[in-house]
């Protein structure tokens, strides 16, 4: 990996980092922070789904685990936010390993893997809704103490920079994965498992390492969510909405590409915000837009938007 | 040593049987492959050749029997472990990583022994040269011709730096001039120190390339020997042409 490979990522980071200096609108900054959180969750999904071809419908399981542990360790055990956040990432990765071990060891693939992940996320949601430690249906509230030492920031712009830094790290990590042995073997598994095995790829190990990375990354998005909104309940943390967001953004923006999830998150949330401002407060109108976008993407697969633009230019 | 004492064979298949439910695909097959040889495995369609390959390469566990590589029992080991030990296979139905370029396809094999991407890509280029794919390195694998895909299968397997290469019908579906192009490639692979076991229907190539040939029919090894011996054996002729064919052919020659 050379400096030139990093250039697009740094350029992206620089542009977003300028936003808090140029705009002070809370609506815009909120939009950007939320988009960054989704982009991070989606980047996690992209490692396993985009590069590895293992389509998870249950990344909420990892998002929620990262979010809940970050919150619970602070609220119930008085831990500082940063180690709590790190522990959340670690536990999310472990949950990923466990689900991956159960699913991949028995050779579940395609829609079966998708269903199993969906089922796990739903079980977690029901458990979190009933359990005491998560605050049950009432949810859990992180006390507002706006201080960088608590991973809370008085300015939304500062939080945006933190979120952006994590997304940038995720982009670099993805690029590194793409250039690594694991990345090559992962793509080989996606393209053809039998052929990969014949070439010495330990398919189970590759999938397990990837799902741990993927779950950790999406768990980080969960922890970030908890620190930004300071409130969680089961339908937020383990809800299907985040599973859908995490897979929709990469599919729209280009699964198995470094920038796909970020691009997809920006497009989806840009569209959703635009529709809301045009159509007013019709509940669920943004979901209608997501649905339409998904149908269009499935019907006319662009592979990725850069590809589509290139094709348009040279018919 | 396992079984009956020292085994001189590089690859030894001992009494391998593979049943799928009521179907016996391979029945008590025993064969040897000498180090540094090109050994052929021929037989009529449905004889069990590919199943036997799958057992040797670890894709199927045999119902009974042993597979030994350099005297070590490798029966039932998983494919990626066998690849690490130096056993590579190609697939009869080519299995390219369709979304990747030729270079990336071969690099997946090279990554078995190379941890770093530049080294793996360098191996990929070198191997592509050996099999005649050097000018197609940046093409998507899906854009290759049938002959190109067969070469790609061989190239990926070679990139794992095998000691033993199992080629499953790499010449099937090629026209005569393409066959003539690939025959020297296989020979060069052997000359570089890789032992080759090949399933092949193209007899011209088998006669040309193989030191020894084993004939499989209805799951049994019915003949082993040099290519010339094997094609003259009456049981081989009958396996291909039907019961009594050998006698009729002989009779026809006398008349």
- What is the radius of gyration, based on Cα positions, of chain B? 19
Six-digit token string for B103? 């270079």
- Identify the DSSP state of B242: -
Asked whether the predicted pLDDT for residue A308 surpasses 60, the reply is: no
Asked whether the predicted pLDDT for residue B226 surpasses 80, the reply is: yes
Q: Is residue A281 part of a domain?
A: no
Asked whether the predicted pLDDT for residue B237 surpasses 90, the reply is: no
Six-digit token string for A279? 């159509």
Domain count, chain A: 1
According to the model, what pLDDT value does residue A219 have?
98
Asked whether the predicted pLDDT for residue B239 surpasses 90, the reply is: no
Between vectors from CA B112 to CA B110 and to CA B116, what angle results, nearest 5°?
Answer: 70
Q: Is residue A286 part of a domain?
A: no
Q: Looking at beta carbons, which residues of chain B come within 8 Å of A184?
A: 104, 107-108, 111, 117, 120
- Identify the DSSP state of B34: -
What's the burial of B135, exposed, middle or buried (CB within 10 Å: 0-12/13-18/19+)?
Answer: exposed
As separate numbers, helices (DSSP H) first and strands (DSSP E) second, chain A gives: 14, 2
Q: Is residue A157 part of a domain?
A: yes
Asked whether the predicted pLDDT for residue B175 surpasses 50, the reply is: yes
Q: Is A16 helix (H, G, I), strand (E, B) or coil?
A: helix
Cα separation, B161 vs A86, whole angstroms:
42
Mean pLDDT over A97-124 rounds to 94
Q: Is residue A264 part of a domain?
A: no
Q: Is residue A34 part of a domain?
A: yes
Q: Is A203 on the interface with B (CB under 8 A)?
A: yes
What's the burial of B64, exposed, middle or buried (CB within 10 Å: 0-12/13-18/19+)?
Answer: middle
Range of the domain at A88: 3-239
Q: What domains are there in chain B, each with its CATH number?
A: 11-254 (3.40.50.300)
Model confidence band, residue B5 (pLDDT cutoffs 50, 70, 90): very low
A57-76, pLDDT tens digit by residue? 999 999 999 999 999 999 99
Between vectors from CA A258 to CA A255 and to CA A263, what angle results, nearest 5°?
Answer: 70
- Identify the DSSP state of B92: S
Contact A279, A285 (CB under 8 A): yes
CA end-to-end span of chain A? 33
Which residues 49-68 on chain B approach chain A with CB closer than 8 angstroms?
57, 59
* Phi-psi category of residue A303: left, alpha or beta, with phi > 0 → left and psi -120 to 50 → alpha: left
Contact B141, B105 (CB under 8 A): yes
Q: Is B68 helix (H, G, I), strand (E, B) or coil?
A: strand
Residues 6 or more apart from A294 whose CB is under 8 A from it?
A248, A251, A252
Q: Is B119 on the interface with A (CB under 8 A)?
A: no
Bridging pattern class, strands B64-69 and B164-168: unpaired
Q: Is residue A272 part of a domain?
A: no
Six-digit token string for A245? 């967001």
Q: Is B79 on the interface with A (CB under 8 A)?
A: yes
Model confidence band, residue A315 (pLDDT cutoffs 50, 70, 90): very low
Q: Looking at beta carbons, which residues of chain A come within 8 Å of B91?
A: 194-195, 198
CB–CB contact A181 B111 (8 Å): yes
- In the numeric block, the tokens 């999830």 are attached to A261
DSSP A126-171: HHHHH-TTTTGGG-EE------GGGT--SSHHHHHHHHHHHHHHHH
According to the model, what pLDDT value does residue B255 have?
42
Q: Is residue A303 part of a domain?
A: no
- In the numeric block, the tokens 């699913």 are attached to A103
Asked whether the predicted pLDDT for residue A203 surpasses 90, the reply is: yes
B33-65, pLDDT tens digit by residue? 999 999 999 998 889 999 999 999 999 999 999
A32-47, pLDDT tens digit by residue? 999 999 999 999 999 9
Asked whether the predicted pLDDT for residue A101 surpasses 90, the reply is: yes
Q: Is A62 helix (H, G, I), strand (E, B) or coil?
A: helix
According to the model, what pLDDT value does residue B3 have?
45
């Amino acid at each position: 990996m050379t400096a030139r490979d990093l250039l697009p990522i740094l350029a992206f980071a620089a542009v977003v980092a300028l936003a808090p200096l140029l705009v002070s609108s809370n609506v815009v900054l909120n939009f950007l922070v939320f988009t960054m959180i989704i982009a991070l969750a989606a980047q996690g999904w992209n490692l396993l789904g985009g590069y590895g071809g293992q389509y998870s419908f249950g990344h909420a399981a990892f998002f929620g685990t990262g979010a809940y542990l970050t919150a619970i360790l602070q609220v119930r055990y008085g831990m500082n936010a940063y180690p709590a956040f790190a522990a959340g990432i670690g536990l999310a990765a472990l949950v990923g390993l466990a689900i991956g071990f159960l699913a991949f060891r028995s050779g579940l693939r395609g829609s079966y893997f998708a269903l199993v992940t969906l089922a796990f996320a739903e079980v977690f949601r029901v458990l979190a809704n009933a359990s005491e430690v998560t605050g049950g249906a009432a949810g859990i509230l992180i006390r507002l103490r706006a201080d960088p030492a608590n991973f809370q920031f008085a300015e939304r712009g500062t939080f945006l920079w933190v979120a952006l830094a994590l997304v940038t790290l995720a982009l670099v990590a993805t690029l590194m994965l793409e250039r690594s042995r694991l990345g090559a073997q992962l793509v080989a598994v996606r393209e053809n498992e039998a052929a990969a095995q014949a070439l010495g790829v330990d398919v189970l190990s590759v999938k397990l390492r990837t799902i741990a990375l993927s779950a950790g990354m999406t768990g980080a998005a969960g922890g970030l969510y908890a620190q930004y909104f300071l409130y969680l309940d089961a339908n937020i943390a383990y809800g299907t909405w985040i599973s859908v967001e995490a897979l929709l953004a990469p599919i729209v923006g280009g699964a198995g590409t470094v920038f796909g999830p970020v691009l997809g998150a920006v497009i989806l949330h840009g569209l959703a915000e635009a529709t809301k401002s045009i159509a007013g407060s019709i509940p669920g109108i943004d979901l209608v837009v997501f649905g339409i976008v998904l149908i269009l993407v499935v019907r006319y697969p662009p592979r990725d938007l850069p590809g589509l633009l290139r094709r348009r230019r040279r018919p | 040593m396992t079984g009956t004492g020292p085994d001189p064979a590089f690859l030894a298949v001992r009494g391998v049987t593979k049943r799928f439910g009521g179907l016996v695909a391979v029945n008590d097959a025993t064969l040897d492959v000498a180090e540094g040889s090109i050994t052929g495995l021929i037989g009529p369609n449905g004889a069990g050749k590919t199943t036997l390959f799958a057992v040797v390469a670890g894709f199927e566990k045999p119902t009974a029997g042993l597979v030994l590589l350099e005297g070590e029992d490798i029966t039932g080991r998983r494919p990626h472990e066998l690849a690490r030990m130096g056993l590579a296979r190609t697939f009869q139905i080519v299995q390219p990583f369709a979304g990747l370029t030729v270079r990336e396809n071969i690099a997946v094999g090279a990554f078995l022994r190379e941890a770093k991407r530049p080294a793996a890509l360098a191996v990929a280029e070198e191997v592509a040269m050996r099999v005649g794919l050097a000018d197609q390195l940046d093409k998507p694998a899906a854009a290759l011709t049938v002959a190109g895909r067969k070469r790609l299968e061989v190239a990926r397997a070679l990139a794992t730096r095998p000691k033993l290469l199992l080629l499953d019908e790499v010449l099937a579906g090629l026209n005569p001039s393409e066959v003539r192009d690939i025959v020297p490639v296989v020979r060069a692979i052997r000359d570089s120190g890789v032992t080759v076991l090949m399933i092949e229907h193209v007899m011209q190539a088998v006669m040309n390339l193989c030191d020894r040939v084993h004939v499989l029919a209805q799951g049994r090894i019915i003949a082993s020997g040099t290519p010339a011996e094997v094609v003259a054996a009456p049981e081989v002729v009958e396996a291909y042409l039907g019961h009594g064919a050998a006698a009729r052919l002989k009779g026809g020659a006398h008349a």
